[in-house]
Amino acid sequence: MSFAGRHVLLGVSGGIACYKSCTLARRLTEGGAAVDVVLTASAAEFVRPVTFEALTGRPVLTSLWQPDRALAHIALARQPDLAIVAPATAHLLARAALGLADDVLTALLLARTGPVLAAPAMNDAMYAHAATRANVKALAARGWHFVGPDTGPLAEGPSERPGRMSEPEVLLAAAARLLEQRAPWLGKQVVVTAGPTREHLDPIRVVTNPSSGRMGYAIAAAAHTRGADVVLVSGPSDLPLPFGVTTHRVETTADMQRAVDGLVKHANVLVMAAAPADYRPARPAAGKRPRASGALTLELEATPDILASLKRPPGCLVVGFALEAPGAEGGNGVAQAQAKLREKHLDYIILNNALEPGAGFEVTTNRVTIIGKSGTPIELPLLDKRDVAERILDAVEQALT
């Protein structure tokens, strides 16, 4: 994800999870951010300042008494777009909650008026302690944002209680939402469908397609970053779930239809990026069909057309997808997509060619044409699917404002 032009402060306090902060610093820098790192004295025992200097290309602040950097903590309190504290140990949270300024990081945090994102990381009993919970509550009341902690292995061994610092990718997604949320999306309910569906021939074999769900997942993540409350209805997919997005797993097209029908009642935007199976066996077998020599003839019937039967609430914007495979007669599918847009009463339809290299299924890129009810179709170049998602949401955003 892009952090181009952003200035981020990364405060690191002393815990074994400091190693994750190195990855976080690198990913922020790779995303285009200018990253200034501030280490507490104990953090510098885990990871030396030179490591962060190599990762960010910028000097690291470790002390209020650092030569030639008088009042640097005040400048770093005011200038960055976002301050991230990762890991935020129990001791750091306690000092910040009390308003102490006994080292460079707590002094900076006390002087800061902009957003702060904290990633707690500590022993599970320390996080569960009433003092720590009170400190988190106090800081949240003052405007701090928290991600985690997660449940999982700790330095001292496995745990079934929270204490583990959230992964860098999760923190990046949370940081992006704080930096990139937009007024038209705040408070909006967005439903996105993604992935294939499976229709069973028998308990073992299925009719499906090669959709990975990557396009729909990218749209869900992008809408969350913009500030929307997002629900993802996903068919079978191996992709990691987008941070902050509520996910409903479904198997068949009928399952997806039921989920969409229930969720769209409260939606402001519905994006149908899934590739549900169009046909299902008319008579699926209760047990596994034995393999036999010769041909197998199957009778298929149409699955529900989710968009055609949709009862959308007033004011809900609906975006459909048209995956075409133009034949020898030529054409780019625009006329067919425009016909679908009218027939299914869509606000936008996204056209792409399943046969074009680098587009369609099982790839990280796509080339689409955005078609609205009015105006000239917008033909995009081949882009990463997250970039395609942003362009689609740009079009929808104009209708939200």
Q: Where are the domains of the chain?
A: 7-180, 183-285+296-400
Query: For residue 299, what is the DSSP state?
Result: -
Q: Write the DSSP string, 243-275.
A: TT-EEEE--SHHHHHHHHHHHGGG-SEEEE--B
State the pLDDT at residue 247.
95
pLDDT at 29: 96
Please determine, for residue 67, whether its predicted confidence score (pLDDT) is greater than 90: no
159-217 pLDDT, tens digit each: 888 899 999 999 999 999 999 999 999 999 999 999 999 999 888 889 898 889 999 99
* CA–CA gap between residue 125 and residue 131 (Å, rounded): 11
Residue 230, CA atoms < 13 Å, CB-side half-sphere: 28
Query: Which tokens hold the place of 333?
Result: 């599918």
The position carrying tokens 């797993």 is 249
The pLDDT of residue 328 is 44
Q: How many CA atoms lie within 13 A of 348 on its CB side?
A: 27
Backbone phi and psi for residue 341, each to the nearest 5 degrees, phi listed first = -60, -45
Instruction: Please tell me the predicted confidence (pLDDT) of residue 333.
Output: 80
Q: Taking 80 as the threshold, does the pLDDT of residue 102 lie above it? A: yes
Predicted pLDDT at 70: 64
343 Ramachandran zone, left/alpha/beta (phi>0; psi -120 to 50): alpha
Query: Selecting from 2.60.40.10, 3.40.50.10300, 1.10.10.10, 3.90.1150.10, what CATH number does the domain 183-285+296-400 have?
Result: 3.40.50.10300
pLDDT at 78 over 60: yes
pLDDT for the residue 201: 87
CB atoms under 10 Å from CB of 376, counted, come to 7
The answer to whether the peptide bond before residue 87 is cis (omega within 30 degrees of 0) is yes
User: Would strands 150-151 and 162-164 be described as parallel, antiparallel, or unpaired?
Assistant: antiparallel
What percentage of the chain exceeds 90 in pLDDT?
67
Helix (H, G, I), strand (E, B) or coil at 142: coil
Tens-digit pLDDT profile for residues 335-394: 888 888 988 889 999 998 877 787 778 788 889 999 998 878 999 999 999 999 999 999
Active site residues: 209
53 residue type, one letter: E
Distance CA 173, CA 153 (A): 22
The span from the CA of 243 to the CA of 169, in Å, is 9
133 near 101, Cβ under 8 Å? Answer: no
Report the b/e string of 81-113 with b at 16+ CB within 10 A. bbbbbbbbbbbbbebbbeeebebbbbbbbeebe
Give domain 7-180's CATH number out of 2.40.30.10, 3.40.50.1950, 1.10.1370.30, 3.40.1800.10.
3.40.50.1950
154: DSSP letter:
B
CB-based contact 92:119 (threshold 8 Å): no
Average pLDDT over every residue of 320-334? 70
Is residue 400 within 8 Å of 317, Cβ to Cβ? yes
What global pTM score does this model have?
0.87
Q: What is the overall mean pLDDT for the chain?
A: 90
From 67, 40, 66, 36, select the one nearest 53 (Cα to Cα).
Answer: 36
Q: Tell me whether domains 7-180 and 183-285+296-400 share a fold.
A: yes
